[in-house]
Structure 1
């Protein structure tokens, strides 16, 4: 392979322009107009939108709109949805979380490490103004990866999109720590047993949808629109077929928790020059968590990915800093599953804030998570009833809503309407990679963004230190890169070191 330095000056502008033209021609250029709320026979769509990554939006926790939407707030890249609670309805903003099952409102803003004033400006639910409010005597302590909450359970009317759920059990927070919004929980119960009917359960029981299934289209960091569809899919939002993956039973997950776990079978990189490299076959249990900004993978995988980027440095807190010029190139981090490859562009996988660029994956020894840095590039269907997850490469070529039925094979086997981009021409074929890193790690005595970013939901089993699946020895031979720094690489490296301290407080994530 020819030496290739991932920095801003090495690809001609014509290459980037032609790539952009190809994206538009293939239907992958995503519309910036938020889709309307839609209610059909057996499905409910709640539009979601993403606040553009401007300096102002880094600090804002919400931007009011007239319709239900999810927002990618870069101050933590959380995806939030506006719902209505009570009678008459009061609008509140909740974090969309596939890593926990409970729904609650009214966070404690004073405990946040950043964004306290913005948190206080968001609307809070006032139970004294609702005629449908009915509290119980039950109080629970909920623990998350980077925060906690103490809630009292109540019965209340909840409206999501255009659908109203009567007497849904939700929590009213009395004290939370380091959580900037309430939460809309959409995961299965982590213990495998429902303590009460969750939102998906009640939607089915009240005939709003036919099965406990929903599809998620989060969209990339540069796109303000997306959607969650309860009880349905949109075939105009993905390429090819949805591959069906079984959810792993709790006994096969690292912490013995019942979550949206599937098996990842490989990892790789597609370089801007067209070369593709990937690992040998692996077996890594990963769970899909929209409540976690970063992904978390075994250390050997993370170091191998980071080693691809010239001038990557590791902070003492475990964050990999990379030159921001990388995001301008049409390369991708590639995730392999049985029968499907999901490619996440460098632009979506590398997080940027005030000139600091962080690789969107952290090392973990116990639990492996595919968070928002992965989910932005995938169209995902979560089917609790059949314990299956369906994945396809996300795109946007129109709208065609199809309801999810009930029983086995409830998720339609429809093919996506979008056309795939032509694959890079690789004269030497796919190269084998070695996940046993040999390159020394450059650790800098600089703190990274604070907080834990995976999203273990409340009520999970105790963490275990044994019984983790053993990873096989895998061939991941890192190619030799040009060690000369480019102007972009030097500037990015210096900027990272000078600015990281100033932005630490702005990079907090719910898990």
Structure 2
């Protein structure tokens, strides 16, 4: 008689293998302000014939730049790659017009509009070269372009763009997906902008008077939901991915925590943004237990368009003291020893609704190359700001975030990369508590406590999906072989 546990494995195997499996069609290609008055608007829905789920996967390209720059699927999923410009800015490539004209634009969760064609001629030599390499769009060369009479000025923390609105098709290189009659800006002039911007914040009827890029994705049935999952990727990886209308469970560990987006009227700047509540900040020295630096919660907004993280001066000082900072560089950035960036275990912890995102030293610390034989300077990528707080790229590289614009929730987990497994987000999808498929990051493995999400960490180490099928299939084979002996 077979041992009881073998019968259990056989039952488990048969039940899992008999369950319906979802298929994926993967397409991989190699590819090198001032707001107007808000009016009512309606976005026309485009009918789409029933078809198999689609996923668009574009490769990542890393473009190096040495100096600091700061700017203020299944079931219809578009998964586009990001390009990291020396871990400063992140870009996604779009195809505009007919025939398509490819342009790279900065992915920006801190703004709301899509615009292209910055003025490259007034930039420094290095920025001019990069600016021109991002591609240009000329509406005169598109058979479907409609140049409108609408104009506006978009202002950012640094720089601005004067734009004229155009309506044209927007697609993705290597994909047959194409949206029609999408409104976006074409710059007539700009200051201190070296690439166009894809604003993926709240759109039509909230911050602008027309359907935004995010609105059109859902309205034209490219996606089933007005959501985007963002994995910027680590410095070492040099880039990541953004999934429109889906979640990539191979880009995080543990569970997704549901963090409500703060209503604009209750937010620090009264503007509809991705404002969320940060519960606490902690420090974990190499090989030591974590120490809470501040238990006071604060409102922060998540901004992929910002290189640095801005926090209250008292919090920045506590972080600086924790790593032995001596002085500042570049007008307030805490100077630190460059040796800290080589530590594999030190980290800062940011806690949101039961989940702590650990940011390793090497992701938080930035380096300024030495000039004329001088040694490099290193500093924490966090700047004091008592006016408002934001979490920029120095934080977001260590987090996986899913922005749900309809339900006004940000789902957050610890970033970890173990491939790509994209799932569509539909009305039936339950994102809260959804488990990631990856192992925990090294800095998190020894720091998860009973008050955090240890159970999810353990679950993340278990095989899922096809891996689970393989395990139970092997178990079933063992049972059958034992029975034949």
Q: Shorter-chain-normalised TM-score: which range?
A: 0.7 to 0.9
* Contact persistence 1:44–1:230 (CA under 8 A): no
Structure with higher RCO (Cα < 8 A, 6+ apart):
1
Structure 2 counterparts to residues 476-487 of structure 1, below 5 A: none
Matched, 1:86 2:97: yes
* 3-state DSSP of counterpart to 1:168: strand
Q: 1:315-374 deviations in whole A, cap 9, x for unaligned?
A: 362222222111100211110111100001111111124233221111112121000011
Mean alpha-carbon deviation: is it higher for 302-311 or for 112-121?
A: 112-121
Give matches, 1:178-197, under 5 Å: 178-189=192-203, 192-197=206-211
Superposition map of 1:199-348 within 5 A:
199-315=213-329, 317-330=331-344, 331-348=346-363
Superimposed CA distance per residue, residues 106-125 of structure 1 (whole angstroms, 9 cap, x where no aligned partner): 01123435622332344211
Question: 1:18-52: CA deviations, max 9, x gaps?
Answer: xxxxxxxxxxxxxxxx99369x9666545452527
Q: What is the aligned counterpart of 1:49 among 36, 60, 76?
A: 60
SS at match of 1:326: helix
Q: Is the 8 Å Cα contact of residues 48 and 228 (structure 1) preserved in structure 2?
A: no
**What is the aligned partner in structure 2 of residue 363 from structure 1?**
384
How far apart are 1:396 and its partner, in Å?
Answer: 1.5
Question: How many angstroms does 1:298 deviate by?
Answer: 0.6
Using the TM superposition, name which of 174-183 and 345-354 deviates more.
Answer: 345-354
Query: Structure 1 regions of 5+ residues with no counterpart?
Result: 1-33, 62-66, 431-511
CA contact (8 A) 1:274 1:425 kept: no
Q: How many residues align structurally?
A: 385
TM-score (norm 1): 0.70
Q: How far 1:297 sits from its partner (Å)? A: 0.6
Alignment check: 8 A CA contact 2:303 2:391 kept = yes
- Equivalent-residue separation in structure 2 for 1:35 and 1:319 (angstroms): 43
State the alpha-carbon separation in 1 of the partners of residues 205 and 357 from structure 2: 29
Q: Show the 5 A alignment for 1:54-203.
A: 57-58=65-66, 69-74=81-86, 77-112=88-123, 115-160=127-172, 162=175, 163-189=177-203, 192-203=206-217
Stretch of structure 1 that moved more, 306-315 or 356-365? 306-315
1:282 aligned counterpart, secondary structure = coil
1:372 has 2:393 as partner: yes
Residue 304 (structure 1) shift: 0.9
Select 2:427's aligned residue among 406, 416, 424. Answer: 406
Equivalent position of 1:381 in the other structure: 402
| Deviation by residue 1:226-272 (Cα, 9 ceiling, x = unmatched) | 11110111111111110011100012211111101110000011111
How far apart in 1 are the matches of 2:260 and 2:325? 39
Deviations 1:200-244 (A, max 9, x none): 111111111111101001011110341111011111111111001
**Is the 1:43–1:209 contact (alpha carbons within 8 Å) kept by the matching residues of 2?**
no
Aligned residues: CA RMSD: 2.9
Separation in 1, partners of 2:61, 2:279: 31
| Distance 1:144-1:69 versus aligned 2 partners, 3 A rule | same
Q: Is the 8 A contact 1:221 1:348 kept in 2?
A: yes
Distance 1:111 1:352, change over 3 A: same
SS of the residue corresponding to residue 203 of structure 1 reads helix
TM-score if structure 2 supplies the norm length?
A: 0.73
Partners in 2 of 1:41 and 1:252 — Cα distance? Answer: 42
Change (3 A) 1:50 1:35: farther
Aligned to 2:446: 424
Q: 1: distance between equivalents of 2:419 and 2:446?
A: 25
Contact 2:203 2:215 (C-alpha < 8 Å) held by counterparts? no
Aligned-partner SS, 2:62: coil
Equivalent residues of 1:270, 1:332 under 8 A apart: yes
Contact 2:105 2:134 in 1 (8 A): no
Distance, in Å, in 2 between the alignment partners of 1:116 and 1:361 is: 28
Post-superposition, which runs of at least 4 consecutive aligned residues in structure 1 deviate over 6 A? none
Shift of 1:179: 1.1
Q: Secondary structure at the match of 2:66?
A: helix
The one-character-per-residue Cα deviations of 1:102-156 (angstroms, maximum 9, x if unpaired) are 0000011234356223323442112221111111100011111111111001101
1:36 match: 28
Write out per-residue CA displacement over residues 372-392 of structure 1, whole angstroms, 9 at most, x where no aligned residue. Answer: 011100110000000000000
- Partners of 2:257 and 2:352 in 1: how far apart? 9
Find the aligned partners of 2:396 and 2:365 in 1 and give their Cα distance. Answer: 13
